[in-house]
Amino acid sequence: MSKASTVKTEAEDSPSTVDVPFKGVVFTVPTNPLDWGMETMEALDGNKISLALAGMLGPRQYANLKKLNPSLQDAVDLLSAISAASGTGSTGN
């Protein structure tokens, strides 16, 4: 198999979402941060954690997160878990 074919096959086999468990709930987010959207990236750039999570999770999952009544530390922990699961590393917090 050619190198190009191998890369294409690996990309096709990669999941487009990843499950992130948090406080007994599993949240599903896009694997590729480039799929998070501009508003999410602006929220991250401005250290607006709740807006970033809203963008990553989408309305339904964000509503489920809010039902958990998370603290600021919980929100930071979830953001870090999402970053780690998506391969982006540290969120800088």
pLDDT digits (tens, 9 = 90+) for 28-57: 999 888 888 999 999 999 999 999 999 999
- In a domain? residue 91: no
- In a domain? residue 90: no
- In a domain? residue 1: no
- In a domain? residue 60: yes
Check residue 17 and give its pLDDT: 93
Is the pLDDT at 14 greater than 80, yes or no?
A: no
- What is the domain range of residue 42? 21-85
Is the pLDDT at 27 greater than 90, yes or no?
A: yes
Is the pLDDT at 8 greater than 50, yes or no?
A: no
Check residue 35 and give its pLDDT: 87
- In a domain? residue 12: no
Burial level of 7, CB count in 10 A (0-12/13-18/19+)? exposed
- In a domain? residue 92: no
- In a domain? residue 64: yes
pTM score: 0.76
Is the pLDDT at 89 greater than 60, yes or no?
A: yes
- In a domain? residue 59: yes
Chain mean pLDDT for the chain: 85
Buried b (16+ CB within 10 A) or exposed e, 26-56: ebebbeebeebeeebeebbeeeebebbbbbb
What is the count of structural domains for the chain? Answer: 1
